[in-house]
Amino acid sequence: MKKFFACLLITLCFACGSKENDSHYRIIYQNDKEGRALIGSKAALIQYIRGGADIKIGWGAKGKKHSIEHLSEPIWLAVLDESEVIAHLDPQVLSHTDWENLSANYADSTLLQREWRVVLTTKGEFDAVWYDRLKGNIVQRRPQNHTISWFAQGNPSNRPLFVNE
């Protein structure tokens, strides 16, 4: 009887521990600027997307004086030919960054009419545009490449999201 309760306790501890781990985001795939894998695999990321996992995407830059890191949840994901992932981020009204005080503000009210939109891929591609919502035109476009980290919370699945019948 003691062995039964000891085994039950150990089983419960492992079960609780695995549920706790599933509640955390973890890097499933990280690509360099050229889209080469640094961590994980695109196939694993695709499995998490197919499993309905919550995805977050991180990237950043380091200059001579400052660095910045971003973390965002995509509003739309697509798996292309079962080998690449593209993600669109929620359009944002960007604030002015005060690098001297490391803060942000909307003191320049003209920024409120500009929207920042971005699409990025597991190939390291990062295409950003600034869109003028009042005039209905693109103000600036900055295609670039980044090291991108793809995080997931949840479970993977091998089942495709869509199958032609």
- For residue 132, give the nearest of 118, 116, 145 by alpha carbon: 116
- Residue 144 identity: Q
Instruction: Report CA-CA distances (Å) from 66 to 20, 100, 102.
Output: 35, 10, 10
Q: What is the pLDDT of residues 125-150, one digit of tens each?
A: 999 999 999 999 999 999 999 999 99
Confidence label for 5 from pLDDT (cuts 50, 70 and 90): very low
Query: pLDDT for 34-89, tens place per residue?
Result: 999 999 999 999 999 999 999 999 999 999 999 999 999 999 999 999 999 999 99
Please report, to the nearest 10 degrees, the dihedral formed by the alpha carbons of residues 46, 61, 143, 91 taken in order.
70
Q: Are 116 and 124 in contact (CB under 8 A)?
A: no
Closest by CA position to 29, among listed 63, 65, 53, 7: 53
Q: Is the pTM of this model over 0.85?
A: no
Q: d(Cα 155, Cα 93) in Å, to the nearest integer? A: 33
Q: Which two tokens stand for residue 132?
A: 């003028």
Instruction: Please give the structure tokens belonging to residue 112.
Output: 């409120």
Share of the chain above pLDDT 70, in %: 85
